[in-house]
Chain A
Amino acid sequence: MAVAAITENYVGERLDRVENFHGNQVLYVGWDHHLMFCAPVAFAVPPDAPFSKVLEELIPGAFSLHPEFGEIDWNQVEWHLNAESFTPDTNATLAEQGIDHKSILRFATPGLDGLKGSGS
């Protein structure tokens, strides 16, 4: 719907368009049921980075402080991209597998239920 405004057909400046991120795009990553990390995290990452960068660099950098991190069996991990079930291709780039600007990537680790099973 249009904004009620004193100017007709009011158009707002898109502050977060991808062009503003100097070659990067924003990627959000959340580890389901591990709320020791209070919220999903945000990265600025080039769209042509391979998924392996997410797996080997970004995710460990963000989540390895959790005592269960070392126990993750990455073959069992369930992924979601923007709420749809997703199978990442480690060697393909983010863009090639539809991970676009401000996408949400979630991973779940069944069997690892957070600190004392609390989802933390």
Chain B
Amino acid sequence: MSNKKLNMKDKYRLLTRDLEWEFSYRDRKEIFPQEDFEGIKITDWSKWEDPFRLTMDSYWKYQAEKEKKLYAIFDAFSQNNGQQNVTDARYVNAIKLFLTGVSPLEYQAYSGFAHVGRQFGGVGARVACQMQSLDELRHVQTQIHAMSHYNKHFDGFQDFAHMHDRVWYLSVPKSFFDDARSAGPFEFMVAIGFSFEYVLTNLLFVPFMSGAAYNGDMATVTFGFSAQSDEARHMTLGLEIIKFLLEQHEDNVPIVQRWINKWLWRGYRVLTLVAMMMDYMLPNKVMSWQESFEVYFEEAASSLFKDLARYGIEMPPYAADAIAEKEHLSHQAWSIFYNYGHAAAFHTWMPTAQEMDWLSEKYPNTFDKYYRPRFEKWREMEEAGERYYNPTLPMLCQTCQIPMGFTDMENPTMTSYRQSVYDGERYNFCSNGCKDIFDHEPEKYVQSWMPVHQIFQGNCGGPEMEDVLGDYYRINLGVDNLDFKGSPDEARWNGWHNLQSAEDKLKKAS
């Protein structure tokens, strides 16, 4: 064997495609048992085009360099008490939502890509998925590290992994990923690789990362930069899987179309959390949810689906429903969290007068007409010392598991109800998308772990709601939950900045 250095091309071949071998004494079906059952037909794996020409050794080198820079900034952030330099302590609640709701999805993605990275019969696809799997593991680790500093100074971060598995609103992102991971390998790739990473990522990560930038959160911004090149690779993988499936066999087209319909709707419903984060939780706003949706979904998706038309793929029918909701979504979502602020592991609040004016300006057709009167009533109740909390548990959608706070767009003050009867039992939904998803695979969704029903069944501790929230969810009651006003977070923040809470000011004045 010679010692001469390999050129890039040879090295790439040897470290990826050449890892494959012929199976001489075992049947391929035994080795890749999950490749057929979804009905997808693959005729030739060698047609797979590797989306990123990266070998493991250069991957390690590259990621290690990024990591070094990242951790240097985390150190500087904590030494300089960076937590004191965010715009306002209310901002930190956006990253509590991120750590409890999104970071565990990175872990789920790691696990899901590791699984499909074993199941595909083509070595190119396997290597690409394994690399994404490692990226995702890195993402969850670096996010936890980025936020661990905030955990020292703010409430609500301490039990994020435990909460992700139990708390009612976290069942929304959790069940989304559970759904994808319990599907076959090709559906997983259309769900996460294509729909989530390619189509919807700009509506999820960009708002959180630019929200961090606008609100002085250097730790999260730096994490975002460090993940950016990974995300670019994930997007190319997402697009490659779609093109590959569609080019392999025409019978794949209707299957892929149905998966795209399903997963764009599932993903969009999860983004409800992002919509309210953008419009309500950022003290310095980046842009409204509606604006972001128009740029990153309406414009981007219409050009994408124009491209895919040559394969016979069409814009999902539910896209029109999502577009119709864009002037309502964030307000309905924040109403849900304000109603159930006693049961959330982060703080909620009513927007200030100035923030309400911003909402009126951004949502001229809907905010004053439908939402302002509600919010002003809640503010009035709060000022009277009777902050409004909804005393009764909400009805949830069987598919997306979000409280049924969405309305009929033809009649926007009427709750949108959908129902199916399957095998003698009623199932209820928030939308056509969620109902159709159930109707297509009811045996999957009869198993939904619906937080409210689980409480009624006695599976979440009890008997009192305090027991569920405190012992089972591990929310520190009176500390992590309730309104931002009067919270220990607010008191600490005011202490750092020598600010008085509004209440103290009043007391001193009288």
Contacts and interface: CB of A to CB of B under 8 A. Distances in A.
A36 B338 CA distance: 10
Given A40-B404, A40-B415, A101 B425 contact: yes
A21 B332 CA distance: 30
A24 B446 contact: no
Contacts of B33: 6
A15 B395 contact: no
A119 B184 CA distance: 44
B443 interface: yes
Interface string A20-40: 111010101010110111111
Contacts of B393: 41-42
Interface in B409-437: 412-415, 417, 419, 423, 425-428
A115 B373 contact: yes
A62 B392 CA distance: 6
A114 interface: yes
Contacts of A1: 439-442
Contact residues of A: prevailing secondary structure: loop
B395 A42 contact: yes
A65 to B, nearest CB: 7
A48 interface: no
Interface residues of A, number: 52
Contacts of A22: 457-458
Contacts of B377: 36, 67, 115, 120
B392 A82 contact: no
Interface string A101-120: 11110100000001111111
Interface in A71-120: 82-83, 100-104, 106, 114-120
B186 to A, nearest CB: 10
Given A22-B458, A39-B336, 16 more contacts: A1-B440, A3-B443, A4-B183, A4-B187, A12-B442, A14-B425, A30-B415, A32-B415, A36-B377, A38-B336, A39-B394, A44-B456, A61-B392, A103-B426, A104-B395, A119-B370
